[in-house]
A and B are shown apart, each in its own frame.
Chain A
């Protein structure tokens, strides 16, 4: 079993819709949690950190559930420019462990 698991998708979502991704992690020693965005053939870029209390950045909301060991990302009012791969990441033993990523296609 992979340490960080995500549904690879693709998620095909009409523009303006709300879409949610989940990610599960298996190692309870994981310390910090993040969502990264990766465009095709580009490097990952930090989208947002994830906290137990939940955090919001504009149309994006992230949530951490330590008891169930999952992380979620919600995108509201999706835009065409949101099309990308979203990577879930955890920090354990000073290194980032990534999931395989979830591909999102926003349809006009």
Chain B
């Protein structure tokens, strides 16, 4: 069984640009969550997708948006990048919502905004 894969692994963007990060969920998982982890902080919840619908959102502005596809892979889009968006972006998948089945994390995309 394949785990959660994220692409790209590293990315450098300029302030004001847009970025799309991708996540392939683990086989059999239909729920994907996205987290932002700034240096020295714990991961912060951005949003969750369950069966292609947004199923919860954290305290992030609308320029953070997402999609989930029929194969349960997901994208995170960030518009109008700011310097503070520099962080490790983590994707986690699980078999169902509720967290009782456990979350598997991808290795993350490290985004640097200059």
Chains A and B form a bound pair? yes
Q: Is the CB of B56 closer than 8 A to any CB of chain A?
A: yes
User: Across the interface, which residues of A come within 8 angstroms of B106, CB to CB?
Assistant: 43
With A95-B58, A98-B43 known as contacts, the answer to whether A43 contacts B33 (CB < 8 A) is: no
Instruction: Decide: B102 and A96 in contact? CB cutoff 8 A.
Output: no
Q: Is the CB of B42 closer than 8 A to any CB of chain A?
A: yes
Q: Is the CB of B73 closer than 8 A to any CB of chain A?
A: no
Instruction: Decide: B105 and A95 in contact? CB cutoff 8 A.
Output: no
Q: How far is the CB of A85 from chain B (nearest CB, A)?
A: 9
Residues 11-57 (chain A) with a chain B CB within 8 angstroms: 31-32, 41-46
Interface size on B, residues (CB 8 A): 26
Q: How far is the CB of B105 from chain A (nearest CB, A)?
A: 4
Cα of A25 to Cα of B13 in the assembled complex, Å: 36
Q: Is the CB of A100 closer than 8 A to any CB of chain B?
A: yes
Instruction: Decide: A91 and B42 in contact? CB cutoff 8 A.
Output: no
With A43-B106, A43-B107, A44-B90 known as contacts, the answer to whether A94 contacts B98 (CB < 8 A) is: yes
Instruction: Decide: A95 and B42 in contact? CB cutoff 8 A.
Output: no
Cα of A19 to Cα of B107 in the assembled complex, Å: 28
Residues on A close to B: CB < 8 A? Answer: 4, 8, 31-32, 41-46, 87, 91, 93-101
With A95-B45, A101-B41 already in contact, 19 other A-B pairs whose C-beta atoms are closer than 8 Å:
A8-B40, A42-B107, A43-B90, A43-B108, A44-B43, A44-B90, A44-B105, A46-B102, A46-B103, A87-B43, A94-B48, A94-B56, A95-B33, A95-B48, A95-B99, A96-B45, A98-B35, A99-B42, A101-B42
